[in-house]
Amino acid sequence: MEPFQDPKELDNYKRKLGCKNAYCNISAKIWVFWDDDWRGEVLSDSIQQISLKLSKNNVEMICTAVYARCDALERLELWEELEALSVNINIPWTVGGDFNVIMNKEEKLGGLDFTQFEALDFSQCINNCALTEIKYEGSLFTWWNGRIERDSIFKRLDRVFGNQEFSNMFPTSEVHHLVRQGSDHAPLHVICNLEEEVTSRPFKFLNFWTRHPQFQQIVEENWRIDFVGCPFIEFQAKLKKVKGALAKWSNATFGNIFQKVTTFEDEVKVKEIQLEINATEENRADLKRAEANLKKILYLEEEFWKQKAGMRWFQDGDKNTRFFHNYVKGRRKKLHLAEIQMEQGDVVNSSDGIGAEAVSYFERQFKEGGTSEDESLLRLIPKLITPSQNEEMGKMPTKEEVKMVVFALNGDSTSGPDDFTFYFSYEFGVITKKGEDCKLHRP
C-alpha cells in the first residue's frame, strides 16, 4: 500500500510536523516535507531519489532524499543520477537516506561475508560527487532484519553526506542515529549549527590505557630515539614521539568508546529479544557475550568521565558514570566565558577573539615598564630567616625529592603542558644517564 493513500492521513501528518509543504516522488516511496518559510523547487525526481532546491531569503541549498533499490544493478542508475546532478551544483548540498549498501565489513554483523564489489560502485559515486560523510552519533548499525539467531543481520544502510559548500556553511553538523521504533531502520536526525565554532581537539592521555597489555610496549618502543643535545629537549622529543604513537594506537585499539556503548546496547537489546522468543543455550551464550562486551566498554566510559572529573576523594566502588558526566558538564559551564568586555568597552563573544584579548591583556600586565633603582626601602624590611636557612632554600632539589612530589600529585587531574597526566609519570619513572638512552621503569 502506498504511504498516505488517504488525503486526510497526509494532512494530519503535515499538521503534526507543523508544515504545509510536501512532495512525493514518482514511486511514492520517498516523501519530503519542508518548513513553510522555505520555498521548494524540484530539480530531479526518479524512482530512487528526489532532489529539491530550498531557498529562504538569501540562503539556498539542495537536499537529495535517497531510497535505493536492493539490487546492485538497479542502484547503478542512482549513482549515475547523483553524478549527473553534482556537475551543476555549486551551493550547499546534502544527500541522505537508505542507500542499501555498506562501505566495509565493520558495518555489517551476521549474514553472508562482505564483498567489495557493491561498495566499490558506491564509493566511486561519492568520490565523483565530491561528497563527505557527516559524522554521526549513536549505534553503528541503522538496520536490523528483525530475525533471530543465525538469521539475524545488522547493517549500516542509512547515512548522510554533504559537499564542501555545505561543510563551510554548517561546519559542526552531526547526524544522530535514533532508536528504531516500528521500523527496521533507525531514523536519522541531522543537526546543523551556524554559530558554533570548530575547535581542534588536543591530545588527551587517558589513564585506562596503562591497563592494556600493549601499552608498556608502545611506550618503550617509541621512547627510544637518536638525539644529541640538551636533555630537556631530548625529553620533549621523546614525549612528542610517544604522544603520536599512543594517539594512533588508541584509535585502532579502543576507537570511539561512546559510539561503541550505543552499538553494544543495541546489540544486547536484540539478543534479549532473541532469547525471549527462543530460549536456547546458543542464544543465552550470545546474550552473555554481548553483555560482556557492553560491560567492558561501559567500564572504559566510566574511567574516562572519572578522569575528566578529577575527583581524588572518590573511592573505588562509589563510581557512577552519570554523576561524573554531570559534574564535568557543571564545571565546564561554570568556567565557560560566553563574552568579555574590552577596556575600550567593546564586547567580544567569539572563542578566537576572547583568546586573543586574554593574551594581549596579560602581555600588557607583565610588560616591564619604568622601574626605580632606589633600593633604600629594602633596608626597612626585617630579615626573618637566617643566612643558613636562606642558603638551604636556594639548593637544587634532589631526584628523590622531585620524585616524591610528582608521585604525590593527583593522577586524574588535568594534563600538564605536555598533554600527559601525572598518572603517566607515576606509571613510568624516567632515568636519564649521560651517554645512555633514557630508560623507563616503574617506581
C-alpha cell at 366: 607583565
Q: Tell the burial category of 254 from Cβ atoms under 10 Å away from its Cβ (0-12, 13-18, 19+).
A: middle
Contact 63, 52 (CB under 8 A): yes
Q: Average the pLDDT over each of 250-259, 305-314, 386-395 and give the range with the smallest value.
A: 305-314
Q: Indicate whether 433 belongs to any domain.
A: no
Beta bridge partners of 340: 348
Beta bridge partners of 108: 155
Q: Indicate whether 157 belongs to any domain.
A: yes
Asked if the model's pLDDT at residue 139 lies above 50, the reply is yes
97-124: pLDDT as tens digits: 999 999 888 888 888 888 887 788 899 8
Q: Indicate whether 165 belongs to any domain.
A: yes
Q: Indicate whether 101 belongs to any domain.
A: yes
* pLDDT attached to residue 86: 92
Query: Residue type for 158, please?
Result: D
Q: What is the CATH number of the domain that holds 42?
A: 3.60.10.10
C-alpha cell at 83: 553524478
Three-state secondary structure call for residue 279: coil
Asked if the model's pLDDT at residue 396 lies above 60, the reply is yes
Asked if the model's pLDDT at residue 405 lies above 80, the reply is no
Query: Residue type for 359, please?
Result: V
* pLDDT attached to residue 3: 53
Total number of domains in the chain: 1
44-99: pLDDT as tens digits: 899 999 999 999 888 899 999 999 999 889 999 999 999 999 998 989 999 999 99
Asked if the model's pLDDT at residue 441 lies above 80, the reply is no
Q: Indicate whether 139 belongs to any domain.
A: yes
Q: Indicate whether 119 belongs to any domain.
A: yes
pTM for this prediction: 0.52
C-alpha cell at 345: 568597552
Domain range holding 168?
Answer: 7-191
Q: Indicate whether 151 belongs to any domain.
A: yes
* pLDDT attached to residue 77: 93
C-alpha cell at 34: 519542508
Q: Indicate whether 375 belongs to any domain.
A: no
